[in-house]
Amino acid sequence: MKLSKLLFTLTCGAVISGANAADITIYYSPTCPHCHNARNFIETNLIYEYDNLKVTTVNVTEMDNQPEFMDALKKCEYESGGVPVLVVGEKCFQGFGESTKAELREAIEVDLSDDQKKAAASNKAEMEKDSEAFVAAHADRKDAVSERESKKKITKQGENNDTTTDILLFAFLGLLVVGLGIVLFKKKK
């Protein structure tokens, strides 16, 4: 294997895989109905079935998230930038439909012990009996889903450093042009 390909694979693995093979990263667009269906299935079913599952959602319409999304597309060998793209360990899925649900469960269970698989099956059965009661009893699982913050959102509360920097830059350039105009106008007199 070429050194560059090995480094790329290791980098993508570190960025995309996260801590566990069972963790899911979902790359989505807020306007994509298939993305909403995928997120809904994961957030109302899978996080309750699998006790240790962690889900990271990444909004691909935010420019800061584009490099990570491009890395995921390369890792998954997808030529299209269509969403949703779901990465579960080393397994990738593009799009979402009924058949994807079983495939996601299989990918999550790759590294689970037999006891963990039994617990997941038991959780699923309990959810099918009375999902409202099960979800209420396991309300802490909502914390299993986290949104990848873009760099712009990590600024101080209510402050957008990019906008402030742009305004200051344009103000400085405006003053520079005015000052240069005054100097040139005075010299001509």
Query: Which pTM value belongs to this model?
Result: 0.69
- Quote the distance between the C-alpha of residue 173 and its chain's center: 38
Per-residue confidence (pLDDT) for residue 148, from 0 to 100? 86
Residue 159: pLDDT over 90? no
| Residue 163 identity | T
What are residue 117's DSSP bridge partners? none
pLDDT (tens digit per residue) in 32-53: 999 999 999 999 999 999 989 9
How many Cβ atoms are within 10 Å of 58's Cβ, its own excluded?
Answer: 24
pLDDT (tens digit per residue) in 67-102: 999 999 999 999 999 999 999 988 999 999 999 999
Do the beta carbons of residue 16 and residue 87 sit within 8 Å? Answer: yes
Look at residue 57 and give its three-state secondary structure: strand
Query: Domain residue spans in the chain?
Result: 3-154, 155-189
**Residue 69: exposure state from Cβ atoms within 10 A (0-12, 13-18, ≥19):** buried
Structure tokens at 162: 């990019």
Determine the Cα–Cα distance for residues 57 and 25; give it in Å rounded to an integer. Answer: 6
**Alpha carbon separation from 167 to 154, 162, 163, 170, 177 (Å, rounded):** 20, 9, 6, 5, 15
> Which CATH topology does 3-154 take?
Glutaredoxin (3.40.30)
Looking at per-residue pLDDT, the higher value among 175 and 8 belongs to 175
Sign of the alpha-carbon dihedral angle for 70, 72, 75, 79 = negative
